[in-house]
Amino acid sequence: MDLKILVKQAKQQNQDALIELIMAQKDDYYRLAYVYVKNESDVLDAMQDMIVTCFEKIDQLKDPNKFYSWSKTILVNECKNILRKKKKVVPMEKLKQEPKADRTSRHDDLLAIEQEIHHLNEKQQEAIKLRYVLDLDIKTIAALTETSEGTVKSRLSNGIKKLREKLGGVGHEEA
């Protein structure tokens, strides 16, 4: 069914229309939430909270064509709320990596990168995961994080620079 029609119906408190909109991109919502909360239970909680919030606030949506970016922003905020409530902390033991010389496969390299990402600040982690895990463009990331495109580019650039320094990658200059 047409996006504008479904949004109009959802604005008239039609729950089925809202669910149909969300189900059309359920996999995208799931992947987005998983990047933040890292487990299925929390993903489902965040999605449920997002649906409730969307239903309660859909009358605030001015442009029906922006439903998906609007709802994904709500989802990101719900994920952040869950993380704040849980105050998730990654134990240092999980962050330890094998010495670089012992890594023999691409999988090990990807694991090392994933572990090093946790050493970046929260904003850089978010930008890198949205860009390189979910393959979102700068404009979409800016909308989801409610920041400017320049800020997103800066966070990506600084985060990648720090990763290169930590991992000894291309572009790393010795002092």
Q: Look at residue 48 and tell me whether its pLDDT is greater than 70.
A: yes
The domain ranges of the chain are 3-86, 92-167
First to last CA, the chain: 59
pTM metric for this prediction: 0.64
Class of domain 92-167: mainly alpha
Give the tens place of pLDDT for each residue, 98-122: 444 443 455 566 666 777 788 889 8
- Fold (CATH) for 3-86: Rna Polymerase Sigma Factor; Chain: A (1.10.1740)
Q: Are 3-86 and 92-167 in the same CATH fold?
A: no
